[in-house]
Amino acid sequence: MQSPREILADLWALAGGDPSALDAVTLTGEEPQLPSSFRVAAAAQASIAAAGLAAAQVWKLRSGQSQEVAVDMRHAVVECRSERYLRVDGKPPPPAWDVIAGIYRTRDQRFVRLHTNFRHHRDAVCRVLNCKPERDDVQAALMQWNGEAFETAAYASGCVVAMMRSHGEWSELPHARALAELPLVSIEKIGEAAPRPWPGGDRPLAGLRVLDLSRVIAGPVAGRTLAVHGADVLLISGPDLPAIPWLTIDTGRGKLTSFVDLKSEQGRHSLRDLLAGADIFSQGYRPQALAALGFSPQDAARISPGIVYVSLSAYGQAGPWAERRGFDSLVQTATGFNHAEGQAAGVDGPKELPVQMLDHATGYLMAFGAMMAKARQSREGGSWHVRVSLARTGRWLWNLGRVADGFKTEDLKGETVQPFIEEIPSGFGPLRSVRHSAVLSKAPAFWARPAMPLGSHPAEWPMRS
C-alpha cells in the first residue's frame, strides 16, 4: 500500500511536475483519522498537498524563490469537512438534507438514494413517484418499483438519484469500464496562444482572474483554494439559481460574487466580457450544458486565447453516464462505497463515508490541475482544458486500498478540531471556520476577502496592481 508521500508523487508525475520539487514537502500525521474502511485521510492530505505544491511551483516561476510546503493529515481531514465545523455568529449549521433526501428500499429489496436538496429535484422525484414530499409516502411509492427501473426512469425525468451497487456490480457496467480509461486529472492543450506574462503581485496567484461557475462543494472548493493563494476569484451565480446557503458561506471565503443571468443575451454578453479578461474558467455544469450557451472549452479559447478551462463532472466525460447528473453522495452509492462501508461496519444497508471525500478531493484536484496548466501556459503558451470527475476521484480513492479495522477509530472530537479553527469577519456575521491546511513557508495561504452573500459585487474584474 502506498504511503501518502508516494500517492502525492504519483499525482505530481501525472501533471508533469518536476520530481525534485517533492523534496520541499513535509507530510505529518498517521492513518486512520476517521472511522472508515477507506483511506480518506491519505486522500485528503495528498490532494491538498498537490494543490499546495502547485502553488509553490507557480510562485517559483514568478519569483525565482523556492519554499517549503507542509500538510498535517489531521488538519487536512478537518478541512475536508469544513462545512461541518463552520459557525456563523456562534451558530452551528442547520440540517444538511431535505426532508425526503436519503435512502429507501425498493420492491426488489434494493436500496436507492434520493438527492432532493434543490426544490426542482424534489419536485421531479414526486412527479415520477406520484406522491407527496413526505418520507412515508415516498417509501410506499418506491415499493411499487424495482431499483434499477426507478433509477433509469427517474434520471430520464430530471431527478438526481442512484441505486446502491456493490463495487463488483459497478465494475461490470460499461460506464465503469469507460471511466477506467480516463486519467484522474486530464490536462489537454486545446488551442494556440502566446504565453501570458505573469501579472504583478506578492502571492502565488496574485493578479490571476478566475471565473467560478460552480455550486455545492467540489467546484466551489476549487475556487476557494485558488483564492487562498491570492487569485481574484469571481463566483458567478444567477438570481434564480438554487443554492445551499451554508455551503455558499463556507466555500465563499476569499471570493467576489456576482449575479449573471445566462438565460438572457445580456447575461451571456456580460459573461463573454468577463471571460475575455479571465485566466482560469472553472465550471461544474454537465458536459454539454455550457456549450449550448456558447461557453464550451473551444468557445472559451476563441474568446480568451490562453485560457485555462477547468471542467468538473459527476461521472466523467466518456461512457454512457457522461451526461448524468450527480453529487458526491450519489456517486458513493452507485460505485460501491456505501455498500462496502456498510459491510465493513456491520450495517444492513448503505453507510456513507465519514466525509464528502469525493467532493473535497476533487475540488483540490481541480485547483491542482488549474495551477499546473497555468504554469504550462506561462512556459509553452496555448489554451488548456483540465477535466476531473467525482467518479474518477472515487476510483482513485478505491485503488488507494482499504483500512483494516478502520471502524475501531473514534471520530474527531471538538477539542481535536479547535487548533485548526480561525475567527474571521464576513458578510453574514463573525465566522469560525477551518484554516487552510497547506502551509507555505514564504507565501502563506490566507483568504484576503470575506465571504459575502451571493450577488454582492458588480460583474467586473478588480483592477490589477
Quick one: average pLDDT of 418-443? 97
What's the longest Cα–Cα distance across the chain?
Answer: 65
Q: Is it true that the peptide bond before 32 is cis, omega within 30 degrees of 0?
A: yes
**Tell me, what's the pLDDT at 327?**
86
Query: Is pLDDT at 136 greater than 70 in this prediction?
Result: yes
Burial group, residue 101, by CB count within 10 angstroms (0-12, 13-18, 19+):
buried
Q: C-alpha grid cell for residue 257?
A: 460574487
Residues in a beta bridge with 187: 386
% of the chain exceeding 90 in pLDDT: 82
The string of pLDDT tens digits covering residues 336-352 is 999 999 999 999 899 99
**Tell me, what's the pLDDT at 386?**
98
Query: CB of 323 within 8 A of CB of 286?
Result: yes
Return the exposure string of 378-396: e unless at least 16 CB atoms fall within 10 Å of the residue's CB, then b: beebbbbbbbbbbbbbbbb
Q: Which of 254, 251, 333, 319 is nearest to 284 (CA)?
A: 251
% of the chain exceeding 70 in pLDDT: 100
The string of pLDDT tens digits covering residues 220-261 is 999 999 999 999 999 999 888 878 888 999 999 999 999 999
**Coil/strand/helix, residue 233:** strand
Q: What is the 3-state composition of the chain as percent helix, strand, coil, each rounded to the nearest 5? A: 40, 15, 40
The string of pLDDT tens digits covering residues 388-415 is 999 999 999 999 999 989 999 999 988 9
Show the CA angle centred on residue 223, arms to residues 218 and 225, nearest 5°. 95
Query: Is pLDDT at 287 greater than 70 in this prediction?
Result: no
Query: CB of 258 within 8 A of CB of 402?
Result: no
Query: Is pLDDT at 427 greater than 70 in this prediction?
Result: yes
**Which is more confident, 93 or 430?**
430
Q: What is the mean pLDDT of the chain?
A: 94
